[in-house]
Structure 1
Amino acid sequence: MIAGTANAQRFREFKMPDVGEGLTEAEILKWYVQPGDIVTDGQAVCEVETAKAAVELPIPYDGVVHELRFGEGVTVDVGTVIISVDTDPGAGSAQAPAASGAQEAAAAASEEDAEPQGRQAVLVGYGAAPSSTKRRARKPQAGVPAQPEPASAALQAELNGRPAPAPMAAPMTEAAPVAPASATPAVSAAGAGAGRPLAKPPVRKLAKDLGIDLAAVVPTGPDGIITREDVHAAAGRAAAPAAPAEAPTPMAAAPAVPGVVDTAARERRVPVKGVRKATAQAMVASAFTAPHVTEFITVDVTRTMKLVQELKQDPDLAGLRVNPLLLVAKAFLVAIKRHPEVNASWDEANQEIVYKDYINLGIAAATPRGLIVPNIKDAGAKTLPQLASELGELVTTAREGKTSPAAMSGGTVTITNVGVFGVDTGTPILNPGESAILAFGAVKLQPWVHKGKVKARQVTTLALSFDHRLIDGELGSKLLADVAAVLERPKRLLTWG
Structure 2
Amino acid sequence: MPAEDSDVLEFRLPDLGEGLADGELVSWAVAVGDTVELNQTIAEVETAKAVVALPSPFSGVVVELLAQPGDTVPVGAPLIRVRNDLAVTPQPTVDEVRRDDVLVGYGPSAEATSRRRPAVSREGASSSHRASATPGARKLAKELGVDLWFIAGSGPDGAVTVEDVRASVPVTVPGRQGGSNGGFGVDSEFVRATPEFGRGSSPERGGSAAGTGPGIGSGLDGHTAAQQNSDHSGTDRGSGGLIEPTAREERVAVSGIRKRTAAAMVASARTIPQASTFVTIDCTASMELLDHLRTTKSFAELALTPLSVVAKAVLAAIADFPAINASWDEENQQIAIKHFVNLGIAVATDRGLLVPTVKEAHTLGLSELCREIAWSAETARSGDATPADLRGGTFTITNVGVFGVDSGAPLVNPGEAAILSLGAIRRRPWVHRDELAIRWVTTLGLSFDHRMIDGELGARFLARVGEYLSDPLTLLSR
Q: TM-score range by the shorter chain?
A: 0.5 to 0.7
Counterpart code for 2:418: A
1:61 counterpart residue number:
58
Give yes or no for contact 1:321–1:392 (8 Å, CA) kept in 2.
yes
Aligned-partner SS, 1:350: coil
Give yes or no for contact 2:281–2:443 (8 Å, CA) kept in 1.
yes
Q: C-alpha distance in 1, partners of 2:280/2:78? A: 55
2:27 counterpart (11, 26, 30): 30
What is the CA distance between 1:89 and its match in structure 2? 7.1
Does residue 1:425 correspond to 2:407, yes or no?
A: yes
**TM-superposition CA deviations, 1:317-360 (whole Å, max 9, x none):** 24322111111001000100111121111111122111111100
TM-score between the two structures when normalised by the length of structure 1 = 0.62
What is the CA distance between 1:406 and its match in structure 2? 1.1
Aligned-partner SS, 2:348: strand
Q: C-alpha distance in 2, partners of 1:438/1:86? A: 54
**TM-superposition CA deviations, 1:127-164 (whole Å, max 9, x none):** xxxxxxxxxxxxxxxxxxxxxxxxxxxxxxxxxxxxxx
2:67 counterpart residue number:
70
Counterpart code for 2:389: A
Can you give the 5+ residue segments of structure 1 that lack an aligned partner in the other structure? 91-237, 242-263
Q: C-alpha distance in 2, partners of 1:459/1:63? A: 62
Higher relative contact order (CA closer than 8 Å, sequence separation 6+): 2
Give yes or no for contact 1:415–1:438 (8 Å, CA) kept in 2.
yes
Counterpart code for 1:291: P
Give yes or no for contact 2:429–2:436 (8 Å, CA) kept in 1.
yes
Q: C-alpha distance in 2, partners of 1:40/1:338? A: 55
Give yes or no for contact 1:424–1:461 (8 Å, CA) kept in 2.
yes
Aligned-partner SS, 2:457: helix
Q: C-alpha distance in 2, partners of 1:292/1:24? A: 30
What is the CA distance between 1:477 and its match in structure 2? 1.2
Q: C-alpha distance in 1, partners of 2:358/2:388? A: 11
RMSD: 2.1
Q: C-alpha distance in 2, partners of 1:487/1:278? A: 34
1:46 counterpart residue number:
43
What is the CA distance between 1:39 and its match in structure 2? 2.3
Q: C-alpha distance in 2, partners of 1:294/1:388? A: 27
1:193 counterpart residue number:
none
Give yes or no for contact 2:37–2:60 (8 Å, CA) kept in 1.
yes
1:391 counterpart (360, 365, 373): 373
Q: Cα gap change, 1:359/1:33 in structure 2, threshold over 3 Å: closer, same or farther?
A: same
**TM-superposition CA deviations, 1:270-318 (whole Å, max 9, x none):** 0111111101111111122111111000000111111122222322224
**TM-superposition CA deviations, 1:365-402 (whole Å, max 9, x none):** 11222211111111111111211111111111111122
Alignment of 1:28-427 (within 5 A): 28-88=25-85, 265-427=247-409
1:109 counterpart residue number:
none
Q: C-alpha distance in 1, partners of 2:416/2:3? A: 53
**TM-superposition CA deviations, 1:379-428 (whole Å, max 9, x none):** 11111121111111111111112221111111100000222321101011
Q: C-alpha distance in 1, partners of 2:75/2:12? A: 7
Does residue 1:476 correspond to 2:458, yes or no?
A: yes
Counterpart code for 2:24: E
Aligned-partner SS, 1:447: strand
Aligned-partner SS, 1:76: strand
Aligned-partner SS, 1:266: coil
Aligned-partner SS, 1:317: coil
Give yes or no for contact 1:325–1:417 (8 Å, CA) kept in 2.
no
Give yes or no for contact 1:283–1:432 (8 Å, CA) kept in 2.
no
Counterpart code for 1:424: D
Give yes or no for contact 1:335–1:483 (8 Å, CA) kept in 2.
yes
What is the CA distance between 1:41 and its match in structure 2? 2.6
Q: C-alpha distance in 2, partners of 1:294/1:49? A: 34
Q: Return the index of the structure with the highest Cα Rg.
A: 1
**TM-superposition CA deviations, 1:216-236 (whole Å, max 9, x none):** xxxxxxxxxxxxxxxxxxxxx
Q: Identify, as 1 or 2, the structure richer in helix.
A: 1
Does residue 1:16 correspond to 2:13, yes or no?
A: yes
Give yes or no for contact 1:331–1:493 (8 Å, CA) kept in 2.
yes
TM-score between the two structures when normalised by the length of structure 2 = 0.65
Q: C-alpha distance in 1, partners of 2:256/2:67? A: 17
Counterpart code for 2:58: Y
What is the CA distance between 1:4 and its match in structure 2? 7.6
Aligned-pair identity in percent equals: 51
Give yes or no for contact 1:64–1:89 (8 Å, CA) kept in 2.
no
Aligned-partner SS, 1:265: coil
Q: C-alpha distance in 1, partners of 2:315/2:448? A: 15
Q: C-alpha distance in 2, partners of 1:303/1:374? A: 28
Give yes or no for contact 2:366–2:476 (8 Å, CA) kept in 1.
no
Aligned-partner SS, 1:313: coil
Counterpart code for 1:402: D
What is the CA distance between 1:57 and its match in structure 2? 1.3
State which drifts further: 441-450 or 287-296: 287-296
Q: C-alpha distance in 2, partners of 1:315/1:492? A: 20
Q: Cα gap change, 1:4/1:429 in structure 2, threshold over 3 Å: closer, same or farther?
A: closer
**TM-superposition CA deviations, 1:176-195 (whole Å, max 9, x none):** xxxxxxxxxxxxxxxxxxxx
Q: C-alpha distance in 2, partners of 1:403/1:283? A: 22
Counterpart code for 2:320: R
Aligned-partner SS, 1:45: strand
Can you give the 5+ residue segments of structure 2 that lack an aligned partner in the other structure? 88-242
Give yes or no for contact 1:430–1:437 (8 Å, CA) kept in 2.
yes
1:450 counterpart (408, 432, 435): 432
What is the CA distance between 1:35 and its match in structure 2? 2.2
1:459 counterpart (433, 438, 441): 441
Aligned-partner SS, 1:315: coil
Q: C-alpha distance in 2, partners of 1:309/1:485? A: 19
What is the CA distance between 1:52 and its match in structure 2? 2.1
1:155 counterpart residue number:
none
Give yes or no for contact 1:51–1:273 (8 Å, CA) kept in 2.
no
Give yes or no for contact 2:342–2:359 (8 Å, CA) kept in 1.
yes
Q: C-alpha distance in 2, partners of 1:300/1:430? A: 26
Aligned-partner SS, 2:251: coil
